[in-house]
Amino acid sequence: MAFVDSLLQKCKSLSHIKQLQAHLITTGLFRFYPSRSKLLDFCATSSPSLLPYATFIFHHIPCPYTNDYNAIIRGLALSHHPTRALTCYLRMSRASTKPDALTCSFALKACARALAWSEATQIHSQLIRLGFEIDVLLKTTLLDVYAKASDLDGARKVFDEMGRRDITSWNALIAGLAQGNQPDEALELFKRVELEGLKANEVTVLGALSACSQLGAIKEGEKIWDYVRVEGLDLNVQVCNSVIDMYAKCGFVDKAYQVFECMGCRKSLVTWNTMIMALAMHGDGRRAMELFEEMVRFGVCPDSVSYLAALCACNHAGLVDDGFRLFNSMAGCGVSPNMKHYGSVVDLLGRAGRLEEAFDIVKSMPVVPDVVLWQTLLGACKTYGNVNMAEQVSRKLVEMGSNSCGDFVLLSNVYAALERWDDVGRVREAMKNRDVKKVPGFSYTEVEGVIHKFLNGDQRHSSWREIYRKLEEVRFRIEAYGYAPETNYVLHDIGQEEKDNALCYHSEKLAVAFGLISTSEGTPIQVIKNLRICGDCHAVMKLISKIYEREIIVRDRARFHRFKEGSCSCRDYW
């Protein structure tokens, strides 16, 4: 065996591999499966270019042994086509050769890379059925599969059953929770890492920073950034990129820029893209475009993400001509526009009221427009009350099989703005017949490091009575400034008082009211909203910022709105 290992280390090409294989065959060592398995494992894992030859050898073995299967399954699991490893594993299960714990481990790694949840559960059952000792590494791999496949209950069950956990297992669950829309739980788990006496590494903080970004948890995010610098993890470019993203999504774009500047020459393309998108989200289109041009001057070649970030910046700032120029320059720079780029340009024109031009672009695209692009155009129709185009676009969405509540709500709002109540009723009836459920609006706000969540009309919060009393006070004070609820889009078949109440208790208003009663005067209030902020809430936030002398930062699903002294950073263009 040592002899074979020595020869394998000297193989530098496929020709050398073939010579060694010929030697093993002529000496009879190829039938001696440890030598054969060593050869297979070397070909399957040492270089992607040798994997096809490994599979060629494997398929010519009449009765492969377990180690032969292990070598090829391991190689395929690491390849660009991990599902082939699962096909091989299935073939092995049907043959007389039985898998061992190592086989299951390689197959589970393939499941993790292919997000093959069903196959992972079967392998998990087989491990138990065959009585294999499931060690920490194998359980960690199982946990990783479940987490990546969004089976967070399964991941947590495996985690809870682990008698001993290393960092890797914590990392897998934290990342899974953060990516699986459970950022609050991810952050709680991150806090437990230190209590367990473990030291967070780069992977741990990446998962925790992602959770902070989603929740807008700036205090926790800054604690993590302090830890990163103390432990020297700020030398990791990916970690710094995540810190930039965290600051930007928590509403502190200037702090994001400070991290960006401190990275100096260590900036990657992702670093530039993240910072440009951060400025875009905050409506600073000019600064984003300047950074894009600076990136090019520094010799960093923009990719499709760079162009998308810059187009979004033009979009949010209303820089129509700059956006068009940028879009038209893409092909000359070797970047082909994709669906998202077309969508951004359509949105750019739609926001500016140039609906016919936007419609012409959609109809002349070299690829078939997707549902999101048509929905973008429908949103522009709603903004500018173009009922004829809205009906055309809605028919197209129906043809494409879209059943999104947003499509129906937008069309209904177009009709409502024109007081075409019969048409509104028809759309509502269609929603009922199709069993379309409206996505509930919710908002987060952080107070003293604790995340508070509110739904529209929420009365579950422990301070809900104080919150509602504060909203009554707010309504009284803003009415003195001439505020009147924007009830245009509220259902017409309810009374005026019900219409006012339907708007009064939107989740972002509840979050801001809680901020007013829970934080000291002059403290900024930050809110994250899962949907687009409505016109009424936007008007109310401007007035609150003026009357209560509070800066209010709202991140909706598309961008940031920074309300200060009665105006918004979006300049009412969103």
Question: Are residue 471 and residue 547 in the same domain, yes or no?
Answer: yes
What is the pTM assigned to this prediction? 0.79
Whether 414 and 457 map to the same domain: the answer is no
Least confident among 82-96, 161-175, 215-229, 286-300: 161-175
| Residue 473 belongs to a domain | yes
CA pair distance 69, 123, nearest whole angstrom: 15
Lay out the sheet containing 560-564: strands in order across. 450-455, 442-447, 525-529, 552-555, 560-564, 567-568
Higher pLDDT, 437 or 315: 315
Look-up of token digits 């017409």: 492
Range picked from 171-185, 407-421, 505-519 for highest mean pLDDT: 505-519
First to last CA, the chain: 69
- Same domain for 6 and 127, yes or no, is yes
Chain centroid, CA 329 distance in Å: 28
d(CA 531, CA 404): 14
Residue 23: inside a domain: yes
Domain final residue, candidates 438, 453, 469: 438
- pLDDT of 12 strictly over 70: no
Q: Among 385, 420, 438, identify where a domain stops.
A: 438
Closest of 514, 505, 566, 565 to residue 534, by C-alpha: 505
My answer on whether 390 and 509 are in the same domain is no
Q: What is the pLDDT of residue 101?
A: 84
215, 528 Cβ separation under 8 angstroms: yes
Span 317-338, average pLDDT: 90
- Please give the single-letter amino acid code of residue 124: H
Whether 306 is covered by a domain: the verdict is: no
Mean pLDDT of 187-216: 89
Residues 541 and 554 in one domain: yes
**Residue 71, both tokens:** 């070598």
> Which residues lie closer than 8 Å to 154 by C-beta, 6 or more apart?
121, 146
Residue 490: its pLDDT value, please? 53
Question: Which pLDDT score is estimated for 234?
Answer: 92
The percent of residues in the chain predicted with pLDDT above 90, rounded, is 42
Sign of the torsion angle spanned by Cα atoms 267, 269, 272, 277: negative
Among 34-48, 326-340, 353-367, 399-413, name the one with the lowest average pLDDT. Answer: 34-48
Q: 140 in a domain, yes or no?
A: no
Dihedral class, residue 463 (left if φ above 0, else alpha if ψ from -120 to 50, else beta): alpha
Closest CA to 457 of 528, 505, 503: 505
pLDDT confidence of residue 212: 93
pLDDT of residue 196: 81
Residues 421 and 498 in one domain: no
Q: Residue 396 burial (CB < 10 Å; 0-12/13-18/19+)?
A: middle
**pLDDT for residue 8:** 57
Judge if 8 and 119 occupy the same domain: yes
- Do both 428 and 448 map to the same domain? no
> Within this chain, do residues 375 and 452 fall inside the same structural domain, yes or no?
no
- In this prediction, residues 64-72 reach a mean pLDDT of 88
What's the 3-state SS for 509-541? HHHHHHHHHHCCCCCCEEEEECCCCCHHHHHHH
- Domain identity same for 8 and 36: yes
pLDDT, position 151: 85
What pLDDT score does 227 carry?
A: 94
Which pLDDT does position 51 carry in this prediction? 85
What pairs with residue 451 in β-bridges?
Answer: 446
Q: What is the pLDDT of residue 484?
A: 82
**3 inside domain:** yes
What is the pairing mode between strands 567-568 and 442-447?
A: unpaired
Let me know if residue 248 belongs to a domain: no
Confidence of residue 138 (pLDDT cuts 50, 70, 90): confident
Is residue 397 within 8 A of residue 370, CB to CB? The reply is no
**Residue 548: closest CA among 497, 512, 574:** 512
Q: Are residues 430 and 519 in the same domain?
A: no
Has residue 114 got a pLDDT over 60? yes
User: Which of residues 529 and 409 earns the better pLDDT score?
Assistant: 529
- Residue 493 pLDDT: 44
Is 54 a domain residue? Answer: yes
What integer pLDDT is reported at residue 33 of this predicted model? 56
Whether residue 277 has pLDDT greater than 90: yes
Is the pLDDT at 516 greater than 80, yes or no? yes
Phi and psi, residue 151, nearest 5°: -90, 75
Decide if 108 is inside a domain: yes
Cβ-Cβ contacts under 8 Å for 126 (sequence gap 6 or more)? 93, 99, 104
- Return the pLDDT at 146: 86
Tokens (6 digits) for 411: 């069309």
- Between CA 270 and CA 275, with CA 274 as vertex, the angle to 5 degrees is 120
Confidence category of residue 565, pLDDT binned at 50, 70, 90: very high
Q: Which residue has the higher pLDDT, 7 or 504?
A: 504
pLDDT digits (tens, 9 = 90+) for 240-262: 999 999 999 998 999 999 999 99
Please check whether residues 459 and 401 belong to one and the same domain.
Answer: no
CA 167 → CA 196, 240, 541, distances in Å? 10, 21, 44
Q: Domain of residue 549: give its range.
A: 443-568
Domain count, the chain: 3
User: For 460-507, what is each residue's pLDDT tens digit?
Assistant: 999 999 999 999 999 999 999 888 877 655 544 444 444 445 678 899
- Residue-wise pLDDT for 382-433, tens only, equals 888 899 999 999 888 888 888 788 788 888 888 887 888 888 888 888 888 8
Lowest-confidence region among 291-295, 407-411, 537-541 = 407-411
Q: Is the pLDDT of residue 142 over 90?
A: no
Angle between helix 285-297 and helix 304-317 axes, rounded to 10 deg: 150
- Of 95, 113, 132, the residue at which a domain comes to its end is 132
